[in-house]
Amino acid sequence: MIEIRKAEKTDAKEAERIFKSARLFMRQNGNYIQWNSVYPSAENVLADAENGVGYVMSEDGKIFAYFAFIIGEDPTYTYIEGKWPSSDTYGTIHRIASDGTHKGVLQLCVDYCRKICPHIRIDTHEKNQTMRNALTRLGFSYCGTIYIEDGTPRMAFCLLP
């Protein structure tokens, strides 16, 4: 049975393993830009755990996916070249990654997060075709371009209640 629970600081090493696997998958699928060797990192997981926004997915005690779900204003989403369809309170999914052993990780994540906050935002790099396809399949709408902290563009999506 699959379990989703809050991440603990002790999950950082497993999350790093998952991020490494996700980076490799991205590179193998033509996305050489998103997620460099220092992001996301164990430090992000530690901060997420400290702030109560990190989550892990596991089956039979083995962690296979990680994500952060942050409710409220996301500074990188303040400016958008495009338009958000709603200004209602939203939750943002960040750092979602899987080690590739389970299918439907994004669906599981979205279903879980919608129970907490039904209005969800997420972004991805334009080269991440796999994620873009999955977001579209799950009913997310493309809203425009946002810019992350380092100034690089990301495609922004939302899912309304």
pLDDT tens-digit profile of 117-131? 999 999 998 988 899
Which positions ≥6 away from 36 have C-beta within 8 Å?
Answer: none
34/37 Cα distance (integer angstroms): 10
DSSP-assigned beta bridge partners for residue 2: 59
Mean pLDDT score across all residues of the chain: 93
What pLDDT does residue 24 have?
Answer: 80
115/95 Cα distance (integer angstroms): 19
Q: Hey, is 103 helix, strand or coil?
A: coil
pLDDT tens-digit profile of 8-44? 999 999 999 998 888 887 788 776 677 666 678 889 9
Crossing angle of helices 42-51 and 12-28, in 10° steps, is 130
Where residue 153 sits, what CATH number does that domain have? 3.40.630.30
How does strand 81-82 pair with strand 120-124?
unpaired
Residue 110 belongs to what domain range? 2-159
Question: Averaged over 127-154, what is the pLDDT?
Answer: 94
Closest C-alpha among 148, 137, 139 to residue 120 = 139
Closest C-alpha among 159, 118, 114 to residue 140 = 159
- The count of structural domains within the chain is 1
